Amino acid sequence: MGFITSMSIWLIPCFILVVLITATVKRVPSYELFVEGGKEGVKMAFSLLPFLVGMIVSISILRSSGALDAFINLISPFLSFIGIPPDIIPLAIVRPISGTAALGMTTELIDAYGPDSFIGRLASVMQGSTDTTLYILTVYFGAIGIRKMGYALKVGLLADLVGIIASIVIVSILFG
């Protein structure tokens, strides 16, 4: 862990150093370019705002009404029938939809079952090995104004499903 943490800490400052030295050696106007690029960042953030507000509000209506929990309860028997532990099902469903909700659930599961329990390990691996598809889709396509997304969502959600099944199988084999 020590090595990994220190590598993550060193990586960004070192990258910035390399960029700045290279720019100076090549006589590229670094400060002016930084400001120019930064202006794009401001524009990007503001064009993102309506996409994020829309998506996050819609998700939170679904969650706060209790409909999401009801849906999870409804399909839990089926999922536990095919071998998915019932306690992990809410996390598996929420993971592609909401990043903050999934992180909260992972923390709750680790708290309730202990980090070194089967559920605790499974939640850890599941949280780490897939990403919030809906958020990434909203941000990446929203920022550049893509309206026709083609088969992107299908691919993202199917890959999530494979990732979730893979986590269950791998954790069962390694720690079962």
Partner 1 sequence: MVNIIWAGMAAIGIIYAMINGTMDKVNEAIFESANEAVTLTIGLISVLVFWLGIMKIAEKAGILELLAKLFRPVVVRLFPDIPKDHPAIGYILSNITANIFGLGNAATPMGIKAMEQMKQISGGDTASRSMITFLALNTSSLTLIPTTVIAIRMQYDSASPTEIVGATILATLISSISAILIDRFFYYHSRRRI
The yes or no reply on residue 76 touching partner 1 (CB under 8 A) is: no
For the chain, first and last CA: distance in Å? Answer: 24
**Structure token pair of residue 14:** 């070192």
Burial class (CB in 10 A: 0-12, 13-18, 19+), 92: buried
Q: Which stretch binds partner 1 (CB under 8 A): 74-82, 86-94, 135-143?
A: 135-143
The yes or no reply on residue 146 touching partner 1 (CB under 8 A) is: yes
Cβ–Cβ under 8 Å, residues 127 and 95: yes
Write out the binding residues for partner 1, residues 23-52 only, by CB under 8 A.
23, 26, 28, 30, 33-38, 40-42, 44-46, 48-49, 52
- Return the number of the residue (46 or 81) whose C-beta is nearest partner 1: 46
Q: How far is CA 111 from CA 4, 63, 135, in A?
A: 24, 22, 26
Binding mask 88-117 for partner 1 (x = CB under 8 A): --------x------x--xx--xx--xxx-
The yes or no reply on residue 84 touching partner 1 (CB under 8 A) is: no
Cβ–Cβ under 8 Å, residues 168 and 129: no
Cβ at position 58, least distance to partner 1 in Å? 4
